[in-house]
Structure 1
């Protein structure tokens, strides 16, 4: 590509050009990409920029980078499945959670009814015990004792 312009030089522009070349099999699957030094010279950039371009291809799963050995093309960019539709996936997860919640509710509600019935029986047994012992059930006492007037009331004035 010496002499060809790739527009604004940056690692993304280089990685896009490399993707295009891999897609057109200039660099075939199973073959190697040029070295970082060679890419830097070809694109007129520093070695670090060329390395970043190759690393972005690695991060996308297009190439394997083996330090000291080289970079092998794993697959064409068109062979990579598109990213999942996140909103649709979230809707699926929400529907699954709702379905599971409904199932749990169906299983718990009968159990809760049984527990409520047992609790009612226990409460009546406790009330009977208090009555047999001649004690006042603390559950039946008013929550607060009546207040006494601490001074003169309007009537006593």
Structure 2
């Protein structure tokens, strides 16, 4: 459910609320899961995110959504932390986690594999480079479906 105009509008509504509560707007999405529309907001901070913080931000955003009413259909609002095994959605996320362990899922095989665990070394528009068991693996971004932190590595 790609609706860039709606996402942009939701981002403009959520960003000042999230920031005024002392958090970073890590990512937001509007998706359909199990037949339900979900407006999901991930918030983050250097000190982590407690459950009561998610509740506080959720209530503040819900109040604004009730007034602005940017979503015409029924939906559920979720506010949470991106978690320890967070997905790295943006260039900013990838940059922040250089030299950290990641799991890269691919939508097609590269050297016979669809998953790579390694240390994120670099990236550009075309490739993501991992250090895997002391060798360098270059993964074409066109084949990457998701990159997430993997602190268990």
Q: Does the alignment reach a TM-score above 0.5?
A: no
TM-score normalised to structure 2 length: 0.25
Q: Name the structure with the higher strand share.
A: 2
TM-score normalised to structure 1 length: 0.25
Q: Name the structure with the higher helix share.
A: 1
